Amino acid sequence: IPIYSCMRNRNMKHFSIASSCAIAICVITYTAAAVFGYLTFGSEVSPGILTNYSASKPSVMIALVAMALKTFTTYPIISFCGREGVSTIIKDVFVKDDNPQKEKLRRYVIATIWFISTVLMAIKIPNIGAVINMLGSLAAIFIFVFPGVCLLQTTLMQGPIVSNNRSKLNISIAVILLLLGAFLFGCV
């Protein structure tokens, strides 16, 4: 995980704190945007809240440019994570002996295929709403289900008997995350 590898103190405690803070900031930000969007537009609010505002206003144009810049600057990060994930799977499953030249070629091929497939999908998919719905469903899994499974697994690995209150709390939180992720995956 790139975040873990960049941390000064690499341990589960600091990683859990960093992850929890990031999730809390996202929840607060998205909840505030949703609440204020609903309070401003009521039932007429559109899924892309910026489309409710007139682009002729300078503040809305700044927000649209900021969203475009965010998308432009996050693409390399997402591409890097995806490339590394695909490269690891290919290396673990198909490659017996590896050297720097093969690894470099593999990175170039994966990055090229990733970029071309992204461009083709952008051209061929007529409605971005379908992609956003699919990504929303996957986000529910990444945000709730995977952390729930990891928390459950790390708690159960500490010992076969769940006797202390902290273990019971961790298992309860893991079950809540799993149920919430399954619910959100089904809703989106």
pLDDT value for 1: 59
* pLDDT per position as a tens digit, 36-75: 888 988 888 887 777 788 888 898 889 889 988 988 888 8
Position 121, amino acid: M
Q: Which residues contact 151 (CB under 8 A, 6 or more apart)?
A: 170, 173, 174, 177
Closest CA to 152 of 171, 168, 166, 165: 171
* pLDDT per position as a tens digit, 149-159: 888 888 888 76
pLDDT value for 120: 92
Q: Which residues contact 12 (CB under 8 A, 6 or more apart)?
A: 154
DSSP, residue by residue, the chain = -HHHHH-SS-SHHHHHHHHHHHHHHHHHHHHHHHHHHHHHHGGG--SSGGGGS-TTSHHHHHHHHHHHHHHHHHHHHHHHHHHHHHHHHHHHHH-SS--HHHHHHHHHHHHHHHHHHHHHHHHH-S-HHHHHHHHHHHHHIIIIIHHHHHHHHHHHHT-SS--SHHHHHHHHHHHHHHHHHHHHHHH-
Provide the mean pLDDT of the chain.
Answer: 84
pLDDT value for 161: 66
Give the Cα separation of 158 and 154 in Å (integer): 7
Using pLDDT thresholds of 50, 70 and 90, give the confidence band for residue 176. very high
